[in-house]
Chain A
Amino acid sequence: MDFSDTAAETDFRQTARAWIQDNAPTYLAAPLSGSGFGSTRTGDFDPIAEAKKWQKTKAEAGWACIQWPKEYGGRGATPIESVIWSQEEGIYGKLSGTFIIGQGMCAPTMMAYAGEEAKLRYLPKLASGEEIWCQLFSEPHGGSDLAGLRTKAVKDGDTWVINGQKIWTSGAQHSDYGILITRTDSDVAKHRGLTMFFLDMKSDGVDIRPIKQANGDSGFNEVFFDNVRIPDAQRLGEVGDGWKVALTTLMNERLAIGGSIATGFPEIQALVSELVLASGPASGDQAVRSKLADWYAKSAGLKNTGARAISALSKGEIPGPENSIGKLVAGGMMQDIAKFAVDLQGLGGLVTDPEIARSQAQIQSMLMRSPAVRIEGGTDQILRNIIAERVLGLPEDMRADKGIAFSQIPTSQDSGTR
């Protein structure tokens, strides 16, 4: 066991640090430091344009998606080098939010299931940020019950015709491509009739409508498909194997989200260190100290769990369902922290105007964004089911739709099946 850098790792860290010093957009450091989860602050500059610019700069010097093979736009770096890189990239890593889904989830799926030609065409541009990808999974009738999705794909010669609707699609409005899971057979059990594709988001018949969220932002979208045609060459995996392909994506999603997820701890620590309560400095208040200790222990536990996962990955082990704990812990924690931090500031803590509120209202944006963390990419409840069933080996819940053809599954109290 060794938590310090080897000589080679020290070299790598110094090289990365020097390059970042010479090339990072230092003019964004101040606004970025006020970024909270769900709000990338870039001051007077456009966040997407700045994100693309930094990504391109990194890609040209070989610092984008460094764990990917070189031919796909990466650096062929080890998992540990990738951790070192993100430690060194620090605050500028907050610019990468736009690319997380594409690089963290779509790309691993493409690497596992796309043909070589497609990989060479799409992955380098995904790495360099020239093209943004989204993941078209959830539907109005298939969120936690993802396999209950209804968007249909019907084969017509060498193409597939898609009709239906997706929802909660992050970043669809900025995306060039997406991976899409569809139903290709309604007469078999729900998990067995699914097929995965990737598609051009500019295709005829794709209609993207941003959703106004509870926090007032519009990061999520509805995406409608009206006779959208996708060439069969863009199918990922076999017909009917879509669930298996989706699991690849979801496992990577939990790694991508859970590995380095924001918890809110640095934010609450900063607040506590400067805030004075009626009873004196907040840092001396026993209730505050107790919470701070608990949250530090949890965030350190996540960091160290992530480190162990990286070690396992370095030894060639495959990340398993135990990585589901990252988002489960971080989501609830962020919400608790934001609530507690607002409480400490009294009514003034409710001010959301970034010009007035402390630290550009990062705590307040966390408060309003955190409920979604506990839902997106697997709700707290689904993650607990996964831990219970797939890690602890507890028996499956009784499922009313088990072994029934998708078309025969009840969909509401009175309507029966579809």
Chain B
Amino acid sequence: MNFDFSSEDRMIQEQVRRFLSEQSPLSRHRSVMEGESLQASDVWQGLADLGLQGTAIPEAYGGVGAGYLPLCLVAQELGGVLAAVPFSSSVYLATEAITCFGSTDQKERYLPKLASGEWVGTLAVSEGPHAPSPTNLTVVRSGDRLSGKKLVVPHGLAADFAVVLVTSDAGTDLVLAGLEGVERSAVEIVDPSIAAATIDFAQTQCESLGAPGDGWAMLETVQHRAAVLYAFEQIGGAEQALNMAVAYAKERFAFGRPIGSFQSLKHMMADMYVALKLAESNAYYAAWALQNDAPDLRLAAATARVSATQAFQLCARDNIQVHGGMGFTWAFDCHLFYRRSNYLSLALGGLNEWENKLVDALPSAVA
């Protein structure tokens, strides 16, 4: 037994951290958020130069084949700087879907381009202000054509193709659809750095991913695997939000003393630390479960997801509180973390949904 990442994994993490601290400061995130560009394409290219999009993609398909453990640490670093790149949608979702369920031909066509960062993929599931279910989907697939509207597609403006959840004669399917020429419009969401889109499919060409009718089950598999990687982004963000709060509390004086010396604030930050630590430890276990396809992967993933969502939400929220009025200004970065924490907590379905998944995955009581 050994419950820590290897020094090789840590070296990759360190390398990514160095790159991001130079190329992807929060000011870069801010420029994307304020609409200067759709995504930080220079950062995306830099990540590609380091081979990071292909970290877990097998070498046979143009990836590095380093597995999920280093990818988890890459995710943590991206989460810490709120990187404005479509990494989560393209790597944790689209790539995973094709890796798990693509035919050999599909893997040959898609994975090398995903690994090199040339293509950006995304997953299109949501259709409106309600949680999707096998019975309420309105985007329809008929043969190799796709019609209907997906409302919030993360990184939908930046993506070259989407894995789309659709309803069909067979039930629920996953399909692959190229997005060139498809009508897309920007949709404002809480985190504007996500380049979210409404996508209007009108007789758009598509091909099946996996067996028709298996769409919902495949979606669940992809979401559980992605949940582990999202959890690492979340703990990366939580950690930085906590660091911000601590740094500010040390330097800001009120009543003649640093505000960080007041127990009311200390205890708030101690609770942030506790939530982060629990989330981090659960994420570590889930990373191992993902890498090893452990029998309890679903439980581990849901647990990591619930803890990480709790931790990032708490740290982002209370970071604003520690900053007081300044924390509620546009100029301070607190709201960037708050926005991202809300995006990440809903990107794969909200806390309530994951609590249910967790309980479903619990082994029956033995005590």
Main secondary structure of the interface of A (DSSP, over half): helix
Which residue of chain B is the closest to A273 with respect to CB atoms? B365
Contact: A394 with B269, CB < 8 Å? yes
User: Which of A57-65, A123-131, A248-256, A287-295 faces chain B?
Assistant: A287-295
Q: A289-B355, A392-B246, A394-B246 are in contact. Are A387 and B270 (CB under 8 A)?
A: yes
List the B side residues contacting A383 at CB < 8 Å: 270
List the B side residues contacting A301 at CB < 8 Å: 277-279, 281-282, 303, 307
Q: A394-B250, A394-B261 are in contact. Are A385 and B307 (CB under 8 A)?
A: no
Asked if B358 is at the interface of the complex by the 8 Å CB criterion, the answer is: yes
Asked if B339 is at the interface of the complex by the 8 Å CB criterion, the answer is: no
Asked if A308 is at the interface of the complex by the 8 Å CB criterion, the answer is: yes
Asked if A244 is at the interface of the complex by the 8 Å CB criterion, the answer is: no
Asked if A106 is at the interface of the complex by the 8 Å CB criterion, the answer is: no
Asked if A337 is at the interface of the complex by the 8 Å CB criterion, the answer is: no
Contact: B367 with A293, CB < 8 Å? no
Contact: B267 with A296, CB < 8 Å? no
Contact: A395 with B250, CB < 8 Å? yes
Complex CA gap A395/B250 in Å reads 7
Q: A296-B358, A297-B310, A394-B249 are in contact. Are A385 and B282 (CB under 8 A)?
A: no
Contact: B367 with A269, CB < 8 Å? yes
Q: Which residues from 304 to 358 on chain A have a C-beta closer than 8 Å to any C-beta of chain B?
A: 304-305, 307-308, 310-312, 314, 322, 325, 328-329
Asked if A397 is at the interface of the complex by the 8 Å CB criterion, the answer is: yes
User: Which of A2-10, A175-183, A197-205 faces chain B?
Assistant: A2-10
Complex CA gap A392/B239 in Å reads 11
Please encode chain B, from 263 to 298, with 1 for each CB lying within 8 Å of some chain A CB and 0 for all others: 101110111011001110110110111011010000
List the A side residues contacting B265 at CB < 8 Å: 394
Contact: B306 with A297, CB < 8 Å? yes
Q: A1-B284, A270-B365, A304-B284 are in contact. Are A392 and B273 (CB under 8 A)?
A: yes
Complex CA gap A391/B272 in Å reads 12
Complex CA gap A83/B266 in Å reads 33
Q: Which residues from 390 to 407 on chain A have a C-beta closer than 8 Å to any C-beta of chain B?
A: 391-398
Asked if B364 is at the interface of the complex by the 8 Å CB criterion, the answer is: yes
Contact: A1 with B270, CB < 8 Å? no
Asked if B260 is at the interface of the complex by the 8 Å CB criterion, the answer is: yes
Q: A269-B365, A394-B249 are in contact. Are A293 and B306 (CB under 8 A)?
A: yes
Q: A297-B307, A300-B285, A308-B284 are in contact. Are A384 and B278 (CB under 8 A)?
A: no
List the A side residues contacting B135 at CB < 8 Å: none
Total residues of chain A contacting the partner, CB 8 A: 56
User: Which of B3-11, B22-30, B126-134 faces chain A?
Assistant: B3-11
Complex CA gap A273/B367 in Å reads 10
Q: Which of A273, A328, A389 contacts B274 (CB 8 A)?
A: A328
Main secondary structure of the interface of B (DSSP, over half): helix
Which residue of chain B is the closest to A315 with respect to CB atoms? B4
List the A side residues contacting B270 at CB < 8 Å: 383-385, 387-388, 392
List the B side residues contacting A289 at CB < 8 Å: 355-356, 359
Contact: A308 with B365, CB < 8 Å? no
Interface centre among A298, A311, A314 (most CB of B within 10 A): A298
Interface centre among A4, A292, A325, A398 (most CB of B within 10 A): A325
List the A side residues contacting B355 at CB < 8 Å: 289-290, 292-294
Asked if B182 is at the interface of the complex by the 8 Å CB criterion, the answer is: no
Complex CA gap A387/B362 in Å reads 31
Q: Which of A266, A381, A391 contacts B263 (CB 8 A)?
A: A381
Asked if A33 is at the interface of the complex by the 8 Å CB criterion, the answer is: yes
Q: Which of A290, A302, A388, A393 contacts B352 (CB 8 A)?
A: A290
Q: Which residues of B contact A (CB under 8 A)?
A: 1-6, 9, 69, 242, 246, 249-250, 257-258, 260-263, 265-267, 269-271, 273-274, 277-279, 281-282, 284-285, 287-289, 291-292, 294, 302-303, 306-307, 310, 352, 354-356, 358-359, 362, 364-367
Question: Can you report 18 A-B residue pairs in the complex whose CB atoms are below 8 A from each other?
Answer: A1-B3, A2-B2, A33-B367, A267-B367, A273-B364, A273-B365, A274-B365, A293-B358, A297-B306, A298-B278, A301-B307, A325-B278, A329-B274, A387-B274, A388-B266, A392-B270, A394-B246, A398-B257
Closest 4 CB pairs of A and B: A301-B278, A266-B367, A293-B355, A388-B266
Q: 17 additional contacts, CB 8 Å, given A290-B352, A305-B278, A392-B242?
A: A1-B69, A1-B291, A274-B365, A293-B302, A293-B356, A293-B358, A297-B358, A298-B307, A304-B284, A325-B274, A325-B278, A384-B266, A388-B267, A393-B246, A394-B249, A397-B263, A397-B266
